[in-house]
Amino acid sequence: MSLHDPVSRLRELGLALPDDPGASANYVPFKISGDTLYLSGQGPRASDGSWIVGTIGSDVTVAEAYEHARTVGLQLLSVASKAAGGLHRLEVLKLFGMVNAVADFADHPKVINGCSDLLVDVLGERGRHARSAVGMGSLPNGMTVEIEAIMRVLPEGEP
Question: What pTM, to 2 d.p., does this model score?
Answer: 0.94
- Per the CB < 8 A criterion, the answer to whether 35 and 153 are in contact is yes
53: Cβ contacts below 8 Å, ≥ 6 apart: 141, 142, 143, 144
CA dist 91 and 159 (Å) reads 12
Per-residue pLDDT of the chain (159 residues; tens, 9 = 90+): 344 699 999 999 999 999 877 777 889 999 999 999 999 999 999 988 899 999 999 999 999 999 999 999 999 999 999 999 999 999 999 999 999 999 999 999 999 999 999 999 999 999 999 999 999 999 999 999 999 999 999 998 776
The second-level CATH assignment, the architecture, of 36-153 is: 2-Layer Sandwich (3.30)
**pLDDT at residue 13 in the model:** 95
Q: Domain residues of the chain, as ranges?
A: 36-153
